[in-house]
């Protein structure tokens, strides 16, 4: 199984949103059972909490399945459980690379919007909607969805490579 973990700050807004969207894309592509999808935060203050109600509302309005979520924190040991660690902004990516215990773990870290061919290379962050209104969550969903086709191709390619080695 190829395991993908989305990481934001508290694991209640952006990363659970990305988890829900990617899980839906994985199912649509017929990769259930081949790809594991999870999310985590760089901080611990929301551990055990559900997703932000505004995240849940935006996902429901867009037709995504209900998200059963409990926030968790990404730590150095989490690298061993994931093949790809997808950061939602540059700060997360830097924190994750600093947690890595070796270059192979650091190489697992990618920015979500790096998979969006339309993203400005100078601005590949998904902004944190937490302190804003509902519109920020809509923007977040738009940016997350735009990156999913490219991410799905990358994961499919990784699965093909792993299959060729067996």
**DSSP states of 39-101 as a string?**
EEESSSTTTT----HHHHHHHHHTTPPPP-----B--GGGGGG-SEEEESSHHHHHHHHHH-S
Per-residue pLDDT at 133: 85
pTM for the full model? 0.94
Per-residue pLDDT at 165: 38
Per-residue pLDDT at 164: 41
Choice among 83, 97, 110, 128 that is catalytic: 128
| 8 given a catalytic annotation | yes
> Measured between alpha carbons, how far is 22 from 2 in angstroms, rounded to an integer?
13
| 128 given a catalytic annotation | yes
| 14 given a catalytic annotation | yes
> Measured between alpha carbons, how far is 69 from 162 in angstroms, rounded to an integer?
29
Choice among 14, 23, 25, 113 that is catalytic: 14
* 42-70 tens-digit pLDDT: 999 999 999 999 999 999 999 999 899 99
Q: pLDDT band for position 122 (50/70/90)?
A: confident
Per-residue pLDDT at 154: 96
Task: For tokens 């994985």, name the residue.
Answer: 26
> Measured between alpha carbons, how far is 124 from 99 in angstroms, rounded to an integer?
21
Contact 14, 129 (CB under 8 A): yes
To the nearest whole number, what is the mean pLDDT of the chain?
A: 93
On the question of pLDDT at 163 being above 50, the answer is: no
Q: What are phi and psi of 111, to 5 degrees?
A: -85, 135
Q: What are phi and psi of 57, to 5 degrees?
A: -65, -45
Q: Delineate the domains of the chain, giving CATH numbers in brackets.
A: 2-165 (3.40.50.2300)
């Amino acid at each position: 199984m190829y395991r993908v973990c989305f990481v934001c700050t508290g694991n209640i807004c952006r990363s659970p949103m990305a988890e829900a969207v990617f899980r839906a894309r994985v199912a649509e592509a017929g990769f259930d059972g081949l790809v594991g999808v999870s999310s985590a935060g760089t901080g611990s203050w929301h551990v055990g909490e559900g997703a932000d109600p505004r995240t849940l509302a935006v996902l429901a309005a867009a037709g995504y399945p209900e998200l059963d979520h409990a926030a968790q924190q990404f730590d150095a040991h989490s690298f061993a459980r994931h093949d790809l660690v997808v950061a939602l902004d540059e700060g997360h990516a830097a924190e994750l690379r600093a947690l890595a215990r070796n270059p192979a773990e650091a190489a697992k870290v990618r920015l979500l919007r790096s998979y969006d061919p339309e993203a400005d290379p100078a601005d590949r962050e998904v902004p944190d909607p937490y302190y804003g209104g509902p519109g920020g969550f809509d923007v977040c969903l738009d940016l997350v969805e735009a990156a999913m086709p490219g991410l799905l191709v990358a994961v499919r390619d990784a699965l093909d490579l792993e299959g060729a080695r067996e």
